[in-house]
Copies of this chain bind each other. A is one copy, B any other.
């Protein structure tokens, strides 16, 4: 199984605008999955959350995660990634969520920002990549 995203599927993480369904693991061992915005830095899938949220707590405590990324134009073409959160940082968290707002909403600034939240960046290194379609 490839450990990187094959060239033929890179459009799903570079040019196409689609969500990643990010699965993390709760303290109980149960999985948990929600759609998230993401960017790709050439190596990592990069997601953004806020300090203290469920996903933040899960990814810090249990860095093994999984993602499912569908082609918005063809639901039978997708990427399935199992990976590891290898970096968690608040550095650049605000700029990153603004860049995601630009990608997904066409807005220069993230419009749902709460004044008290601390935005956090998580870099996910793919370890197993499966493609379909």
A: which residues have CB within 8 A of B?
19, 21-26, 28-35, 62, 64-68, 70, 75, 78, 80, 82
Contacts and interface: CB of A to CB of B under 8 A. Distances in A.
B23 A64 contact: no
B66 A31 contact: yes
Contact of A33 (B19, B29, B64, B67): B67
A32 B75 contact: no
Given A30-B65, A33-B66, A35-B78, 13 more contacts: A19-B75, A21-B33, A21-B68, A23-B31, A23-B33, A23-B66, A25-B29, A25-B30, A31-B31, A31-B33, A32-B66, A33-B33, A35-B68
A59 to B, nearest CB: 11
A66 B54 CA distance: 14
